[in-house]
Amino acid sequence: MRILLATSELYPYSKTGGLADMVAALGKTLARQGHKVGVVTPLYGPILQKAGELGLERMDWNLTLMLDWRTVQGSVWYLNKDGQDIYFIGQQELFNRPGIYQENGHDYFDNPERFIFFSKAVENLAMYLPWQPEMVHVHDWQTSLVPLLLTHSMESGKLKRAVGTCLTIHNLAYQGVYASSVFAMANLPWGYFGPSGSEFYGNFNFLKTGIVFSDKLTTVSPQYAKEIQGQEYGANLNGVLNQRQNDLVGILNGADYDVWNTEKNPALKYSYSLKNMSGKAKNKQALQEKLGLPQNPQIPLFGNIGRMAEQKGIDILIPALEDMLAGDIQFVCLGSGSAKYEEQVNQLRAQYPDKVAVYIGYNNELAHQITAAADFFLMPSRYEPCGLNQMYSLRYGTLPIVRATGGLVDSVIDPSESVQEADGFKFTNYNSNHLARTILKAMAVYYSPEKFKLMRSNAMKADFSWDVTAKKYTAVYESIFRKVT
Ligand code: ADP
C-alpha cells in the first residue's frame, strides 16, 4: 500500500512528546514491511539549521498556497531514511522559528495559520506526489484539516482518484479551537462549517473536523478508545465520537526498541540485559554520582520523566512524595511545564537535597539514563491516551507505578491481576494517598528479592514491538480502501 503520514512532530527532527516517537516508528515499520511510505512534517528552524548535516535536499517543488486572500509560498525538502521518503515543508515566516508550538511557555499566536498552511501542503503532496499515495494518515489537531481538504478536492473533482484518510487521536484534550473567522484561511465552502462539520459551539474546531471527515479514526490504546466516548474523558467531543464509534479503533502504540534498548544505547554508560543485570546497578550508581545523590545501591530510586502538567499527575505526585521522602528513598525528576509545578519540585529538592534530584528542561540522553538507573518509574497520570514511558521503563527493568487509566491499563500488569505475570503497580483513585500506598507496596516488593526479580524479568520480557502494531494500522487502512473504492 502507498501511505503518506502527516505529523507536526517527528523524532529525531522535532519532538515534544509521544506523537513524534509514534509516527517515526510507525513509518519505519510500515516501510520495513514492504509498504511505500512518505512522511510529511514542517521544517522548523532547528532542522533547517542542520539541513546540510542531516542530508536534506531542497526539491524542485515550490508550493503556492492560498490562505484566505493571501498567496503564501513554501518549499519542499527531502530525505530518504530507513526506506521512507521524508518531506519537510519549509516556510520562512511560519516555521523558521526555534519552537514547535510555542516559545517561553506561550503558544505562537498564529498556530492556526501555521497548521492550515501545513495541512494544505500535505494535501498538495497527497495530490501531486508522483507515487500517488492511496492513504493519508494524519495525527492530532494540527493535521486534522487534511481529511476535509481531500474530501473537498474529491467532491469538487479536483482530485480524480480516491484517497483514504485516517486520523489518529493522540490526546483528545488538545483540539485546536479558534474563532470561526479562522476557517476562512482554509478557503473551503462555508457549507462544511456547521454543527455537523467543523463548527463547535460557534468556534472552529480542528480536531472535530478530522473526527467528522476522516474515513477511519484511531486512538492510541483500546482503553482510551472506550474512555473518550464517555463524559469524563470525552473533552466535550464524546457525542461526536459516539456517532463514529463504528469507525473508531484503539491500537496500543508500540515502543521503538531500536531506540529504547539497554544493550546498544549510546546514552547508557553500561549495557545490560536480563541475562546480565550488573550494568543496571552500575547505571544507577553513575546517575547517583552525576546528580549528586548518595551512591547507595540499597536505596530504591524512583524516576519520573515528562511534561509537568496535571495530565501527568504531578499534582498528586508531589504530596505523595512529601509523605514518602521521610523514609529511605531517592527521587529523580526530569521535565518541564507549568511554572507552579517546576517550583514545587525544586522546593522538594531544597527540602531533601540528599534524596531528590531535579532537571528542569528537555534532555533525551538523561531520559534514557534515568529510565535505566531507576528501580521504579512513577506515572500517576490523571488520563493517559497511551503513554510511552511505562513501556520504555518495562524494557529497562524499571517497574512502572501507574494510575489505571488509558494505555496504562493496557500495558502494565499489577500483582492483583496476576502474581506470576505482574510487571508493575496500578492504582485507581486519583489522589496522593492511594499513590503513596502504592509506592509502599512497591517498596515491599523491592525488599523481597525473589518477588522483585520475577517482576523485573516479566517487565523486561514484555513485548510492545511495532511489527504487530503496524499490521493493525494496515488492517485499518485496508478497511478504508474497501470502503472508498
Ligand atoms: P506525552 O506524549 O503525553 O508527553 P508519552 O509518555 O506518550 O507522553 O511520551 C513522552 C515522550 O517524551 C517520551 O519519549 C519521554 O521520554 C519524552 N520526554 C518527555 N519529557 C521529556 C524531557 N523533559 N526530557 C526528555 N524526554 C522527555
Domain boundaries, the chain: 2-254+467-484, 278-463
CATH code at 278-463? 3.40.50.2000
Query: What share of the chain in percent tops pLDDT 90?
Result: 97
Burial of 67 from C-beta contacts in 10 A (0-12 / 13-18 / 19+): middle
What pLDDT does residue 104 have?
A: 86
Rounded CA-CA distance 406/426 in Å is 12
What pLDDT does residue 483 have?
A: 59
Peptide bond into 12 cis (omega under 30): yes
Rounded CA-CA distance 32/27 in Å is 9
Rounded CA-CA distance 41/95 in Å is 11
What pLDDT does residue 205 have?
A: 98
User: Which of 7, 10, 21, 258 is the best mutation target for the ligand 1 pocket, counting ligand atoms within 8 Å of the beta carbon and taking the most?
Assistant: 21
Sheet holding 425-427, edge to edge: 356-360, 330-337, 301-308, 376-379, 399-403, 425-427
Burial pattern 216-249, b for ≥16 Cβ within 10 A else e, equals bbbbbbbbbbbbbbeeebbbebbebbeeeeebbb
Measured from the Cα of 361, ligand 1's closest atom is 23
User: Minimal CA–CA distance to 137: which of 163, 117, 167?
Assistant: 167
Per DSSP, the three-state class of 139 is strand
CA 58 to ligand 1 centroid distance, Å: 31
What pLDDT does residue 374 have?
A: 98
What pLDDT does residue 241 have?
A: 98
**Any ligand 1 atom below 6 A from CB of 22:** no
User: Which of 224, 341, 362 is the best mutation target for the ligand 1 pocket, counting ligand atoms within 8 Å of the beta carbon and taking the most?
Assistant: 362
Grid cell, residue 204, equals 472552529
**DSSP per residue, 161-223:** S--EEEEEES-TT---EE-GGGGGGGT--GGGSSTTTTEETTEEEHHHHHHHH-SEEEES-HH
- Mean pLDDT estimate for the chain: 97
Rounded CA-CA distance 72/15 in Å is 26
What pLDDT does residue 482 have?
A: 72
Compute mean pLDDT per 10 residues along the chain, 485 residues long, and list them: 98 94 97 98 98 98 98 98 98 97 93 98 98 98 98 96 97 97 98 97 98 98 97 96 97 95 98 97 98 97 95 96 95 94 96 97 96 98 97 98 98 98 98 97 97 98 96 96 63
pLDDT digits (tens, 9 = 90+) for 445-480: 999 999 999 999 999 999 999 999 999 999 999 999
CA 15 to ligand 1 centroid distance, Å: 9
DSSP designation for 427: E
106-107/102-103 β-pairing? antiparallel
Measured from the Cα of 386, ligand 1's closest atom is 7
What pLDDT does residue 481 have?
A: 82
364-373 vs 278-290: helix crossing angle, rounded to 10 = 130
**Any ligand 1 atom below 6 A from CB of 17:** yes
**Any ligand 1 atom below 6 A from CB of 335:** yes
Options 3.40.50.2000, 1.10.10.10, 3.10.28.10, 3.90.226.10; CATH of 2-254+467-484? 3.40.50.2000
User: Which of 258, 342, 389 is the best mutation target for the ligand 1 pocket, counting ligand atoms within 8 Å of the beta carbon and taking the most?
Assistant: 389
